[in-house]
Chains A and B, each alone.
Chain A
Amino acid sequence: MSKLVAFAAIQGGYNIVQKAEGIYKKALEDYGPEQKLEFPNTAYHLPINYSLLGIPVKTLADAGKCLDVARKLLPPHIKIVNYLPYLGPLLDAGMAAILAEEIVEAIRYIREPDFYHVSEETDIPNGKLWLGAAEDTIFRKRGVSFVDGSAPGFVAIVGAAPTIEIAKEIALEYQKRSIYVFMCANQGGTTFSEQLVQAGVEVGWNTRLVPFGPDISAAVYALGFANRVAMGFGGVQPGDFKKILLYNKDRVFAFVNALGEVNAEWAANAAGCVNWGFPTLADTDIPEILPTGVCTYEHVVANVPLSEMVQRSVEVRGLKTTVATVDIPLAYGPAFEGERIRRGDMFCEMGGSSKTVVVEWVTSAPMDQVEDGKVVVIGPDVTDIQEGGSLALGIKVIVAGRKFQEDFEPILERQIHHLINYAQGLMHTGQRDIGMLRVSKDAIVKGFRIKHIGVILHAKLHQEFGAVFDKLQVEIYTDSAKAEKVREEARNVYVVRDARVENMTDETTEIYYSCTLCQSFAPNHVCVVSPERTGLCGAYNWMDCKASYEINTTGPNQPIEKGEVLDPVLGVFGGANDFIAQASRQAVTNVCFYSMVNDPMTTCGCCECIAAILPTCNGIMTVHRDYSGETPSGMKFSTLAGTMGGGNQTPGFVGHSKYNIIQRKFLTGDGGLLRLVWMPKSLKDEYYDRLKIRGEELGVPDLVDRIADETVGLTEEEIYPFLEAKKHPALEMESILT
């Protein structure tokens, strides 16, 4: 009975708003109206209030305006007989509750500054479980997985499961489907998050099991995340509430699981979520709302057996998910990619601090020399060593197929890292000859053996790249001497490969590739990837796009005839322009590949770095998304990204990949790398050697040391003397603004 839901939700809405008003009043008394009110490191203020009402809350005084809106939204209570319609009022009450809760949560950041742990990861030993609002860094980084489909959606789990085992089981089922689990609220003091911790499950953004907070009000972190996706990737303007919510209904596949008894406040939150098109499924006997319309399918579904909760949930949301079926004794999926295995949980280690040989190499061979599905292990298995021991690990993958090209070898090779990482109980880092693999004790108990690495690679590479090869076999060398030999062979190949890629230039290549992978979230954005301008998300280079196209000729990467070179300096290509105009639905008609000053390429919002002009220094700066501090542009990365996401062209700013900085065409239209006057130290360190090489090529061998960073200054005025002292070449160049 919807009427009962409405009755409860409206009451819940009143409770929540009233409580929020009390908390707000007290905060005003204690801290005054000028008190700063914010979530950590975000350009989106309190994202729900900002996105829906267009009010950028910065102080307690600002929050008062939001609470006024919430109060006005509260509808009259429902009469027993001859009652007025309640669906609209019910949704309004829910929205009022959510707007108010976001204020309450923000005030908590003032009152209990240590309550939430500002990090991607929990710190359980120090009692830091609750993560609260995601910083923009997390949102941008995770955003990529939302837009490329490796995270099909998220579930907000409210309350707690009846037992720890069931909690673990539900979480695992969602992880297997790669769905993020956002957790909030408690059931009689028990929380789903704590249940998982007790069950020994690692929680945090890395494992996609995010403990937001112990109260129902922490649900706002899930919704705020969703609305940032709409603004950041969808380019929807703050205040355009209808578009923000419809974007969520159509593109963000989220839903709520209410576990345990549903009270009035939960009902209000569930009603609030319906505004987003996010349905609620409960395991208890609550009134249902089945007719469709505001959500794509049902709005509230009750009495769902916990064993069917996950399956029913994705169906009700209209989501298709796939569970990777790899024949190994471990759970498998992208959600396990970020799982860490600490020394104490570790059974054995390859590479890393154990210093054993680790190498990964994909090569090809004639068809008759490859036996598809064959996995051989040469050397001892994990059962042959003691806990705490180590093994060498030489992985040689041999593929064959008529359509296979040598160029695809490194692409397949790069998959090894995440494909192994997807297995629960395995932790992999690095690539080529600098890898590391840890195996957990739990994995050994479940039956993991070395050959399973081969099983994973065979199954997954076939699944994802089967279109470009026919056969694949895996040889795994745990024998130290033999692994060493494989490494020698592989190293020779790496050198040849690198040289070949290095020599590819935009001039000598006639076909570029589009990348519209993000269009599900950023419908007006389109990337064009050339050999010397990799995708701005850092995930796709020209070769990746080429392979992707071979695999799926109608997919998001399409070949583009470069066409007439309209401007070789700025990098304007007729064919690329035609494609961009069509794919962006005429939103963008001219793009300069090598310029940020003139018609720069757009960004969906998930770029690795953003470059901006520093006019006083006559140069440019760039900042990567892991750097959360201020920059000389006057904006943090998150603010920069917020102003330019969603497929808009913003002259003076451009998104690019980290790797692009050391590519020869990096912003050559504006003067190139010699213009770079500031970058965060961590980024400089990461690319130090390669920047040095590029400096030499450009005739300024110590260029990298002439580039300022945050240790030099955070304003143009602060860094200018440094640049002068170092004789930074940008100061001598013609004005960047001409």
Chain B
Amino acid sequence: MSETTNPKVAVPEDVSIDSATIKMLRHAQSKGVETIFDRAVKMKQCNIGTEGICCKICAQGPCRLPLTKGIKDGSEKDTRVGLCGATPETIVARNLIRQIAAGCASHSDHGRSVTETFLAMARKEAHDYTIKDEIKLREVAGYFGIPTTVEVDGVQVPRDKWDLALEVGETALSQWGQQQGELHYLKRAPKATYDRWTKHGVKPRGIDREVVEIMHRTHMGVDQDYRNLLHQGARCSLGNGWGGSMMATDLQDVLFGTPYPTTGKINLGVLSRDKVNIIVHGHDPLVSEMIVCAVNLPEMQEYARSKGANGYVVSGMCCTANEILVRHGMPIAGDYLQQELAVITGAVEAMVVDVQCVMESLARVSECYHTKFITTMPIAKCAYGKNTVHVNFEEHAALDKAKEIIKIAADNFPNRGETHIPSDTNRMVVGFSTEAIKYHLGGTFRGSFVPLNDNIINGRIRGIVGVVGCNNARVEHDEVHVAMIKELVKNDCIVLTTGCSAMACGKAGLLTPESAAVFAGPGLAEVCETVGIPPVLHMGSCLDNSRILTAATEVVKAGGLGKELADLPAAGAAPGWMSEKAIGIGQYFVTSGVYVMIGIPLAIAGSPVVKAHLEHDMEELYGGKWAYEPDPVKAAHKILAHIDVKRAALGIDKARERVLMDMTDRQKIEAA
């Protein structure tokens, strides 16, 4: 560790491995601008909160029931109860599923807003949006059980796409408020996984209902069985993973196009010295898509020139960045932890934010510069900052609103002062939707997941690991992701990534096809070389973790690797998570049968019983479980051990023999 000269600020080299971040932190500190990195040094985490053992559900508390050393080592009997008698199990479980509810609500509410826009589009009330991917629309209709053909004069013909979109939109929207039955999308899962959900009663009835029920059950004096509480957490999470999130991903694909591999650039070096820099930040692409469209209009270009700028650079931050990257190849300025640093370059005319992971400190940092901090969503405003502006985004006048925002940015260009843009950028290849992976494994005619399965079975690829999630200022920026992923690919695991984890990979050069030869083990490298892919596949935003579910489902369906998701030699990991959304995601992966490794602990240490339930009992129930290991390399090895167990169970832990077929063998081939 470098020598600390000022205990009140972070040591740049210690808090990040990313050179642009390090440079910008130094610059910020030299200018006296405080960032999250510095505050993380100054402010310690609450010990009781991190254990999840503070109950503030009623006004008789907060009751704090920290785990004593004696209870931990067994020398002391655990007699902890709250004023009402609530046990540590109840308190921890209640707190945890409230976090799950919040996380699921966030992604699903994003999904709702996409669905509402989609429906407005289908009703021709939102003229700036259209159906970009009709094939996907028809596919989605299929998942909802909506007929895609109609009989005309005795012949089945494809239904009109607008007519179809309307029914799809209405059905999709109904999933939020549905009170009975189950979500349509659950049936997309492998049958054995679905059957397991049925058996354990975790099929969500409606997306909102499960969230509301958590709020009710965790109210003072309702559900006092931690297992029953966690069961509801599992049910709620599926409503997000296989509901709100998945529908959001799908409808965004229909509206904006399904991502296919494209090239992109990442890091603060993408900001321009002579153009108007607009950063779109947050998660919901409804606004950013329009801004991307609008900046290319001649009138907007002219407007920029009239302000002395040489055009615009629209770059992204956080998952809004991922959304416009995978669909349009737009550059990424940075991840969650770099948002303040972007403003500190002094080169950002507008920081346009939608929802989620937007630090309130942006308002304050923007005040130090000319940057306009523009909030756009009625549900996400900011009370502070003299540079804070709210432009209420309306889907019915989307393009006009986008133009308004662009003009604010351009108008701000002449106010730009001294800039400090680091030169760092990295190239990447991104945009591996489930559809794209399928295509690239066999082309138009033979596209399928079979080649992937085949190479998992023959051992070239050891397993599939989804490494996802946020940055967290409590651990070294990017390091936890990059260290874990390098270890995984070195051991021949193909990594699927989304969110800020994907950005860490991008900055570390792991998203270039050339990186396979450098970082991947020999088997994985050979497969990557054959397909022309990086060893780490960027699948989109954190919302798009649903794509990992659909890809994993395709793997099961391609055959040879078991019947349910839990059979796969696969795992999930969120080494640097921080948001409640991440807990929601983690839980839907666990409930779907996936081993989920986290590098930041859940707030559950206050109840060893709840911890054991999450890390052991859940596997019995759902096939997946939680695991925690802060050291990313050790965590990678725990994941590998898990994968090896699954490989052994599948009988693919030994070398595969070449089977030479004679006519008798061939006569036994089952009819397709």
Task: Tell me which residues across on chain B come within 8 A of A314, comparing CB atoms.
Answer: 660
Task: Tell me which residues across on chain B come within 8 A of A289, comparing CB atoms.
Answer: 530
Task: Tell me which residues across on chain A come within 8 A of B450, comparing CB atoms.
Answer: 293-294
A86 to B443, CA, bound (A): 9
Tell me the smallest distance from the CB of B125 to a CB of chain A, in Å.
34
| B619 at interface by CB-CB < 8 Å | no
Task: Tell me which residues across on chain B come within 8 A of A91, comparing CB atoms.
Answer: 442-446
A400 to B233, CA, bound (A): 78
Task: Tell me which residues across on chain B come within 8 A of A517, comparing CB atoms.
Answer: 667
Our pick among B453, B662, B666 for the contact of A251 (Cβ within 8 Å) is B666
Stretch at the interface among B366-374, B375-383, B454-462: B454-462
| A485 at interface by CB-CB < 8 Å | no
A151 to B370, CA, bound (A): 79
Task: Please name the residue on chain A nearest to B523 by beta carbon.
Answer: A291
Q: Are A95 and B661 within 8 A (Cβ)? A: no
Q: Are A318 and B659 within 8 A (Cβ)? A: yes
| B531 at interface by CB-CB < 8 Å | yes
Task: Tell me which residues across on chain B come within 8 A of A243, comparing CB atoms.
Answer: 672
A506 to B620, CA, bound (A): 61
Task: Tell me which residues across on chain A come within 8 A of B458, comparing CB atoms.
Answer: 292
| A319 at interface by CB-CB < 8 Å | yes
Q: Are B454 and A293 within 8 A (Cβ)? A: yes
Task: Tell me which residues across on chain B come within 8 A of A322, comparing CB atoms.
Answer: 662
A524 to B263, CA, bound (A): 47
Tell me the smallest distance from the CB of B487 to a CB of chain A, in Å.
22
Q: Are B446 and A291 within 8 A (Cβ)? A: no
Task: Please name the residue on chain A nearest to B511 by beta carbon.
Answer: A82
Task: Tell me which residues across on chain B come within 8 A of A431, comparing CB atoms.
Answer: none
- B426-458 vs A, CB cutoff 8 Å, 1 = contact: the mask equals 011100000000011111111100111111001
Our pick among A2, A89, A253, A516 for the contact of B443 (Cβ within 8 Å) is A89
| A90 at interface by CB-CB < 8 Å | yes
A520/B532 contact (C-beta < 8 A), A82-B429, A91-B446, A293-B450 known: no
Task: Tell me which residues across on chain A come within 8 A of B670, comparing CB atoms.
Answer: 523
Our pick among B440, B661, B672 for the contact of A253 (Cβ within 8 Å) is B661
| B399 at interface by CB-CB < 8 Å | no
Tell me the smallest distance from the CB of B209 to a CB of chain A, in Å.
40
A290 to B513, CA, bound (A): 18
A87 to B527, CA, bound (A): 10
A1/B529 contact (C-beta < 8 A), A82-B428, A294-B446, A318-B660 known: yes
Task: Please name the residue on chain A nearest to B662 by beta carbon.
Answer: A320
A148 to B529, CA, bound (A): 40
Tell me the smallest distance from the CB of B192 to a CB of chain A, in Å.
23
Task: Tell me which residues across on chain A come within 8 A of B454, comparing CB atoms.
Answer: 292-293
Task: Tell me which residues across on chain B come within 8 A of A149, comparing CB atoms.
Answer: 662-663, 666
Task: Tell me which residues across on chain B come within 8 A of A291, comparing CB atoms.
Answer: 451, 455, 460, 526-527, 530
A294 to B261, CA, bound (A): 20
Task: Tell me which residues across on chain A come within 8 A of B658, comparing CB atoms.
Answer: 297, 315, 318
A92 to B669, CA, bound (A): 28
Q: Are A88 and B440 within 8 A (Cβ)? A: yes
Task: Please name the residue on chain B nearest to A94 by beta carbon.
Answer: B443
Q: Are B452 and A293 within 8 A (Cβ)? A: yes
| A449 at interface by CB-CB < 8 Å | no
A524 to B669, CA, bound (A): 12
| A328 at interface by CB-CB < 8 Å | no
| B53 at interface by CB-CB < 8 Å | no
- Residue in B428, B532, B672 whose Cβ sees the most chain A Cβ within 10 Å: B532
Q: Are B666 and A2 within 8 A (Cβ)? A: no
Q: Are A82 and B513 within 8 A (Cβ)? A: yes
- B474-497 vs A, CB cutoff 8 Å, 1 = contact: the mask equals 000000000000000000000000
Task: Tell me which residues across on chain B come within 8 A of A251, comparing CB atoms.
Answer: 666, 669
Q: Are B667 and A2 within 8 A (Cβ)? A: no
A85/B663 contact (C-beta < 8 A), A292-B454, A293-B450 known: no
In the complex, which residues 533-558 of chain B have their Cβ closer than 8 Å to any Cβ of chain A? Answer: 533
A52 to B446, CA, bound (A): 11
- A143-176 vs B, CB cutoff 8 Å, 1 = contact: the mask equals 0000011001000000000000000000000000
| A549 at interface by CB-CB < 8 Å | no
Our pick among A1, A84, A294, A556 for the contact of B429 (Cβ within 8 Å) is A84
A242/B445 contact (C-beta < 8 A), A88-B440, A520-B669, A556-B667 known: yes
A87/B514 contact (C-beta < 8 A), A250-B669, A523-B670, A523-B671 known: no
Tell me the smallest distance from the CB of B457 to a CB of chain A, in Å.
9
| A585 at interface by CB-CB < 8 Å | yes
Tell me the smallest distance from the CB of B559 to a CB of chain A, in Å.
12
Our pick among B427, B445, B660 for the contact of A81 (Cβ within 8 Å) is B427
A291 to B451, CA, bound (A): 8
| B322 at interface by CB-CB < 8 Å | no
Task: Please name the residue on chain A nearest to B454 by beta carbon.
Answer: A293
Q: Are B671 and A585 within 8 A (Cβ)? A: yes
Tell me the smallest distance from the CB of A101 to a CB of chain B, in Å.
16
A177 to B458, CA, bound (A): 29
Our pick among A242, A320, A524, A556 for the contact of B671 (Cβ within 8 Å) is A524
Task: Tell me which residues across on chain B come within 8 A of A83, comparing CB atoms.
Answer: 429, 513, 532
- B638-672 vs A, CB cutoff 8 Å, 1 = contact: the mask equals 00000000000000000000111111011101111
| B19 at interface by CB-CB < 8 Å | no
Our pick among A2, A78, A293, A315 for the contact of B441 (Cβ within 8 Å) is A293
Q: Are A88 and B444 within 8 A (Cβ)? A: yes
A293 to B444, CA, bound (A): 15
A556 to B666, CA, bound (A): 12
- B46-67 vs A, CB cutoff 8 Å, 1 = contact: the mask equals 0000000000000000000000
| A3 at interface by CB-CB < 8 Å | yes
Task: Please name the residue on chain A nearest to B663 by beta carbon.
Answer: A149
A638 to B670, CA, bound (A): 27
Q: Are A95 and B427 within 8 A (Cβ)? A: no
Q: Are B427 and A87 within 8 A (Cβ)? A: no
- Residue in A148, A290, A314 whose Cβ sees the most chain B Cβ within 10 Å: A290
Q: Are A82 and B530 within 8 A (Cβ)? A: no
Tell me the smallest distance from the CB of B141 to a CB of chain A, in Å.
21
Task: Tell me which residues across on chain B come within 8 A of A424, comparing CB atoms.
Answer: none
| B591 at interface by CB-CB < 8 Å | no
In the complex, which residues 396-450 of chain A have their Cβ closer than 8 Å to any Cβ of chain B? Answer: none
Task: Please name the residue on chain A nearest to B656 by beta carbon.
Answer: A292
- Residue in B261, B427, B455, B672 whose Cβ sees the most chain A Cβ within 10 Å: B672
Task: Please name the residue on chain A nearest to B455 by beta carbon.
Answer: A291
Our pick among B451, B512, B663, B667 for the contact of A294 (Cβ within 8 Å) is B451
Q: Are B667 and A520 within 8 A (Cβ)? A: yes
A315/B527 contact (C-beta < 8 A), A6-B532, A83-B513, A85-B532 known: no
A585 to B672, CA, bound (A): 11
Task: Please name the residue on chain A nearest to B665 by beta carbon.
Answer: A320
Q: Are A523 and B526 within 8 A (Cβ)? A: no
A87/B532 contact (C-beta < 8 A), A242-B446, A245-B446, A292-B454 known: yes
Tell me the smallest distance from the CB of A460 to a CB of chain B, in Å.
17
Task: Please name the residue on chain B nearest to A293 by beta carbon.
Answer: B451
In the complex, which residues 252-289 of chain B have their Cβ closer than 8 Å to any Cβ of chain A? Answer: 261-263
On B, residues with C-beta under 8 Å from A are 261-263, 427-429, 439-447, 450-455, 458, 460, 512-514, 526-527, 529-533, 658-663, 665-667, 669-672
On A, residues with C-beta under 8 Å from B are 1-3, 6, 52, 73, 78, 81-92, 95, 148-149, 152, 241-243, 245-247, 250-251, 253, 275, 289-294, 297, 299, 314-315, 318-322, 516-517, 519-520, 523-524, 556, 585
Ordered by A's residue number, 29 sampled pairs between the chains whose C-beta atoms are within 8 Å are A73-B444, A81-B514, A82-B514, A83-B513, A85-B440, A85-B532, A86-B532, A91-B443, A91-B444, A92-B443, A95-B443, A148-B663, A149-B662, A149-B663, A242-B445, A245-B445, A246-B446, A253-B666, A275-B446, A291-B526, A292-B455, A293-B441, A293-B442, A293-B450, A299-B530, A318-B659, A319-B660, A523-B670, A523-B672
16 additional A-B residue pairs with CB within 8 Å, beyond A82-B514, A152-B663, A315-B660: A2-B532, A82-B263, A82-B429, A88-B440, A89-B443, A91-B442, A91-B446, A95-B445, A275-B446, A290-B530, A291-B526, A291-B530, A292-B451, A293-B453, A315-B658, A520-B663
